[in-house]
Chain A
Amino acid sequence: MSGMSAAEQATALWTLVRKEYHRILRIWVQTLVPPAITMTLYFIIFGNLIGSRIGEMGGFSYMQYIAPGLIMMSVITNSYGNVVSSFFGAKFGRHIEEMLVSPMPDWLIIAGHVAGGVMRGLCVGALVTIVALFFTDLDVKHPLITVSVVLLTAIVFSLGGFLNAVFAKKFDDISIVPTFILTPLTYLGGVFYSISLLPDFWERVSMANPILYMVNAFRYGILGVSDIGLGKAYLIIITFVVALFWFALVLMKRGTGIRD
């Protein structure tokens, strides 16, 4: 007998995805409701109240302009948050051992959690899109770009959440990265404004922010406008997917943070 067959691996992966799915639904009050409420407030305050005074941005009403950004923002935080809390929770409650003793290869454990993060990210993204449609129209200009960018971004941040969980030793550690890195980068990543409004220097600084590329590529998919080149955006996103996945694999193999 050798390792798991492809069919067995598919079963194992499906088991992980199913488990994540049930976890998301079981604690829906924590996983699905808060982002919907927050984003509704954003739409009311920034889109409706303040946005009406801002006027147009990139040739669209402010509400339309920020809608893709806000959808993307919720996808990012929820993909990340799902994996970091699920995987760290498993570490903390020790039931990660259920996976570690099993013959599931490392890539499969990572893939299962990433799939869970993507699932939550896309669910919340869809919820926020529905909320957005109460406030404005959204005609998707380039469906393929929209879907691929949101999917790849969800994968990037699910992997990020996974890495965070691997390194985390206590509960504080799973909120440090979101608070001090993720949120600032997202707010400064062109969710609320076009970087062409910034002074030259800050515009160039902003170009170093990977989230900028994701938000703009997604906005291009929906509205057809973007601050940056699409090719470069894909290149950056895919590089992140590959690099983070590889890093996660290395850490799993070494047992960093999960095996004494």
Chain B
Amino acid sequence: MQALSLRGLHKIYPNGVEALKGLDLDVAEGDFFALLGPNGAGKTTAIGIITSLVTKTGGTVTVFGHDLDRELQAAKACIGLVPQELNLNQFEKVLSIVVNQAGYYGLGRAVAMERAERYLSELQLWDRRDDIARNLSGGMKRRLMIARALVHEPKLLILDEPTAGVDIEIRRSMWEFLKKINDEGTSIILTTHYLEEAESLCRNVAIIDHGRIIENDRMSRVLRKLQLETFVLSLDQELAEAPQLDGYAVRLREPGLLEVDVEATQDINDLFEVLSASGLKVVSMRNKANRLEELFLRLVEAGESRT
């Protein structure tokens, strides 16, 4: 069964902006799915339509087999949303925010309290349960929104940039947590601008740009599509200009720092042989940018030149 299925999703905002231009997308049950794209691509708009916060202009949305137009309540019951923008009642207490949300899904108070305790504890907020939302830090508010989204134990959790502005330690613990609930069976859709996050968490990915899907595949395959990898090499000597290395594009970043493009068909052993032959000694080496980041930029640039 598909956790989510979009067909021809179309959105024109009242101000005339065409945010989605016919989106087709399938997310399988149990998947951990990355929805990526530059600012303004239409990610939040798509998520808004899926979660009933935005009205669609055309197309269909099906959540676990429930068509949004025909079985709205059933579809809604399957989804938990962590929105991009804070939407907490700033004057309400942490605990009652979560417990009330459970109530909106028809969960009795006893169950609601039990789950609120579980998820607030997992997200390290139980100690702050009597604080009003306004008194939480930014990262805590994000975690509170995750607890709130999980309290009715949705089959599909949608997170719209949940780690924006969250420190690295908390971010890692959030990743662990999301991996865990995904392992336990919750399907997850994640948008993020930290591509390493998508790379390490997600099995499948769609890249959306200008309201269209420009790439949709398994993460591993998408990464493999990347034909070129760039390495940054530190040398034990300073050079005045970039050396000629047969078969490799080489740039001199700084006197002691080389950037070398290596194609998928070439292997790194060969590169080192060529380097040794030229009398260059490499002290250390690293990948230039995150690979996904590179692919992403390239796809988006290609899209830019197309339009």
Contact present for A259 and B103 (CB under 8 Å):
no
Q: Which of A33-41, A98-106, A123-131, A212-220 sits within the interface?
A: A98-106
Interface flag for B230 (CB, 8 Å): no
Interface residues of B in 88-118 (CB under 8 A from A): 88-92, 96-97, 100-101, 103-108
CA of A2 to CA of B78 in the docked complex: distance in angstroms?
Answer: 11
Residues on A with beta carbons closer than 8 Å to the beta carbon of B51:
101
**Chain A 76-98, CB within 8 Å of chain B: the 1/0 string?**
00000000000000100111011
B211 interface hit (Cβ, 8 Å): no
Question: A136: CB under 8 A from chain B?
Answer: no
Interface presence of A12 (CB below 8 A)? yes
Indicate whether A15 sits within 8 Å of B86 (C-beta atoms), given known contacts A102-B76, A255-B55, A260-B54. Answer: no
Q: Mark B72-90, 1 if CB is under 8 A from A, else 0.
A: 1110110101010111111
A15-B100, A98-B100 known; A2+B105 contact, CB < 8 A: no
B interface secondary structure, majority? loop
Question: Once the chains bind, are B103 and A98 in contact (CB under 8 Å)?
Answer: no
CB of B283 within 8 Å of the partner chain: no
* A147 close to B (CB within 8 Å): no
**What residues of chain A lie closer than 8 Å to B85, measured between beta carbons?**
94
- Interface residues in A1-24 by Cβ distance below 8 A to B read 1-5, 7-9, 11-12, 14-16, 18-19, 22
**A26–B89 CA distance with the chains assembled, in angstroms:** 14
Contact assessment for A100 and B52 in the assembled complex, using a CB-CB cutoff below 8 Å = yes
Is A103 within 8 A of B73, CB to CB? Answer: yes
| A259 CB contact (under 8 Å) in B55, B86, B88, B100 | B55
Known: A98-B100, A260-B55. A103 touches B14 (CB 8 A): no
What residue in chain A is nearest B15 (Cβ atoms)? A260
Q: How far is the CA of A255 from the CA of B14 in the complex (A)?
A: 13
Contact A260 B106 (CB under 8 A): no
B236-253: contact bitstring with A at CB < 8 Å (1 yes, 0 no)?
Answer: 000000000000000000
Interface size, chain B (Cβ < 8 Å): 36
Among B52, B91, B107, the residue within 8 A (CB) of A101 is B52
Contacting residue for A11 out of B71, B83, B103, CB 8 A: B103
- The smallest beta-carbon distance between A259 and chain B, in angstroms, is 5
Whether A101 contacts B86 in the complex (CB less than 8 A), given A19-B100, A260-B13, comes out as no
Whether B48 sits at the interface, judged by CB under 8 Å, is yes
B19 CB, nearest partner CB in chain A, Å:
10
Q: How far is the CB of B122 from chain A (nearest CB, A)?
A: 20
Contact with A along B193-210 (1 / 0, CB 8 A): 000000000000000000
How far in angstroms is the closest Cβ of chain B from A197?
47
Asked whether A103 lies within 8 Å of B101 as measured between CB atoms, the reply is no
Bound-complex Cα distance A4 to B107 (A): 10
Chain A contacts for B103, CB-based, 8 A: 11-12, 14-16, 18
B95 → chain A closest CB, angstroms: 12
Q: Is B142 an interface residue (CB 8 A)?
A: no
CB-nearest residue of chain B to A11: B106
CB distance from A181 to the nearest CB of B (A): 27
> How far does the alpha carbon of A11 sit from the alpha carbon of B14 in the complex, in Å?
36
Contact present for A3 and B73 (CB under 8 Å): yes
If A9-B106, A103-B74, A259-B53 are given as contacts, then 11 extra A-B residue pairs at C-beta distance below 8 Å, sorted by A number, are: A2-B73, A12-B106, A93-B87, A97-B81, A98-B97, A98-B100, A98-B104, A101-B81, A102-B104, A259-B55, A260-B14
Between-chain CB contacts (< 8 Å), 27 pairs: A3-B71, A3-B73, A3-B74, A4-B106, A5-B106, A7-B106, A11-B108, A12-B105, A14-B103, A19-B96, A93-B90, A95-B88, A95-B89, A97-B53, A97-B81, A97-B83, A100-B52, A101-B53, A101-B76, A102-B76, A102-B101, A103-B72, A103-B104, A105-B73, A259-B55, A260-B48, A260-B55
- The 4 tightest CB contacts between A and B, nearest first, are A8-B106, A15-B103, A3-B73, A94-B87
Using a CB–CB cutoff of 8 Å, the interface residues on chain B facing chain A are 13-14, 48, 51-55, 71-74, 76-77, 79, 81, 83, 85-92, 96-97, 100-101, 103-108, 148
